[in-house]
Amino acid sequence: MILIIVDALVMLVSLYLIFIWVPPAAILGETSRIVYLHVPLAWVATLAFVVAGLAAIQYIRKNTIICMFYARSSVHIGFFFSILTVITGSLWAKVMWGSYWNWDPRETSITLLLLVYIAYFSLHQIVRTNPKGAMLESVYLVIALVASPFLIFVAPRLYSSLHPEPVINTQGAILLDTEMRIVLLISVAAFTLLYIILMKILFKIHKLDYLINEDES
């Protein structure tokens, strides 16, 4: 409960800072405010994926079903946040570059993450009743986790990008103004707390679902 209240406060502060306090970025103008939502959403989508992969590794090592609850919860959250990342990214792309989709490597990499989530859900649906289902899902998540650096980190750097690093970040360092940096960090913190809260809720739901199925059988 305390976590929810804290996150609500941080989120409110974050929204105030994003839409009222922080000045617009040079060149990008008022549209730059979406960065403070888009980047944390992408961060949480990636974080969720990594957490799911790590939980899957732990399930493979220890064979404790609780790890699978964490993995599944994280995948659900990551999927949802990936969609939001794509939506916010597309809206910004429309305003900045005139079309919703430009096959920019960074746009593509988050979409690939989305494809991994969709593939995982397909597998989960098919192996729900299979006694080895949890192990199959875990192995797939670990394979996807190992392949993901190539999708998320290598691919965007292989080819030129429309993403605004050349404008905001010409020297390849974090060169945001102090105010922008503060707002971005607070926004990232707010969304990370939101992720933790959603994980706790979904974990309980998956655990209850498992226990109900056990009782029915």
Residue carrying the six token digits 């993995």: 71
* 134 touches another protein (CB under 8 A): no
Q: Closer CB to another protein, residue 115 or residue 175?
A: 115
* 142 touches another protein (CB under 8 A): yes
- Residue from the set 13, 155, 176, 189 that interacts with another protein by CB under 8 A: 155
* 139 touches another protein (CB under 8 A): yes
Listed ranges 1-9, 19-27, 34-42, 129-137: which one lies at the site for another protein (CB under 8 A)? 129-137
* 31 contacts 204 by C-beta, under 8 angstroms: no
User: Which parts of the chain fold into alpha helices (H)?
Assistant: 2-16, 35-62, 65-97, 105-127, 133-149, 155-158, 165-168, 178-216
- The footprint of another protein on residues 51-80 (CB under 8 A) is 60
* 140 touches another protein (CB under 8 A): yes
* 19 contacts 33 by C-beta, under 8 angstroms: yes
* 137 contacts 120 by C-beta, under 8 angstroms: yes
* 178 touches another protein (CB under 8 A): no
What token pair was written down for 191? 């969304």
Angle (nearest 5°) at CA 18 between 17 and 20:
65
Name which of 105, 106, 107, 133 is nearest 120 in CA terms: 133
Q: Closer CB to another protein, residue 151 or residue 199?
A: 151
Tell the smallest beta-carbon distance from residue 210 to another protein (Å): 14
- Residue from the set 4, 12, 115, 208 that interacts with another protein by CB under 8 A: 115
Contact positions toward another protein, by CB under 8 A?
Answer: 60, 112, 115-116, 118-119, 122-123, 126-127, 130-133, 135-136, 138-140, 142-144, 146-147, 150-151, 154-155, 217
